[in-house]
Amino acid sequence: MKSSQNELFRWADQIPAASWIDLSNRPSQQAAEAVGAEWDGQRFKVPLLGVQYTIDPVRQRIERANQADHLVSYQAGVILLTTLSISKGVPPSGRMAVPQELPGGRMFFTGAHGIALGKLAEFYAKYSDQLIERSVRLGGEMIEGADTAVRLPGLPYVPLYVLCWRGDQESSARAIIGIDDRAHFHLDLAGIFALTNILVSRLCR
């Protein structure tokens, strides 16, 4: 049963029709402008963590730009449809918060919705140079902070932050994922959770 549930929520073409209806209820140009994306009259073009996606609301299809045969993950699809449907177009503040500090975040980001910091810290402890290289490849840039700190473009108006500290004889390596403190104007908490999951996956795979 558990296996079939995982298969059910694996790819973007399995997203419920209700999510597409939410998007159809909003003027397309308004949706694009709100997230800092592009609307060409037929499709949205939205960058997500260094990858350009196209969203076709008529065909209800999400694809990687120039990679139509590449399967798009369910989580990426949810992020893209959610932000196009609900974003209020608020520019980023440039102030970092951890997801738990966002409205409602303290209750939401626990248990099954805990941020995958352990996996990120473990990868950093073994492959710190690779983590930096992959961050830059995704459009990130080094910033001041921690032993290693990077800012990455999650969505055009939703920057993400990765801060890592090396371990020593007394403590293990640790990591923090931060996000712009206005992220809740662009995504719900489930979408923010999905965004952190994709970040960790792309940095640590």
pLDDT in tens, 67-96: 878 899 999 999 999 999 999 999 999 999
**172-205, pLDDT tens digit by residue?**
999 999 999 999 999 999 999 999 999 999 999 8
Assess whether 50 and 148 both reside in one domain: no
Q: Is residue 71 part of a domain?
A: yes
- In this prediction the pTM is 0.93
Assess whether 115 and 178 both reside in one domain: yes
- Containing structural domain, residue 55: 2-86
Q: Is residue 91 part of a domain?
A: no
Beta-carbon contacts of 116 under 8 Å, excluding residues fewer than 6 positions away, are 196, 197, 200
Find out whether 197 and 114 touch, Cβ atoms under 8 Å: no
The CATH number of the domain holding residue 102 is 3.30.310
The amino acid sitting at 102 is: L
Mean per-residue pLDDT for 106-121? Answer: 96
Kindly state the DSSP code that residue 42 receives in the 8-state scheme.
S
pLDDT of residue 205: 85
Assess whether 100 and 156 both reside in one domain: yes
Distance in angstroms (rounded) separating the CA atoms of residues 40 and 13: 22
Distance in angstroms (rounded) separating the CA atoms of residues 1 and 6: 9
Residue whose structure tokens are 């409602």:
104
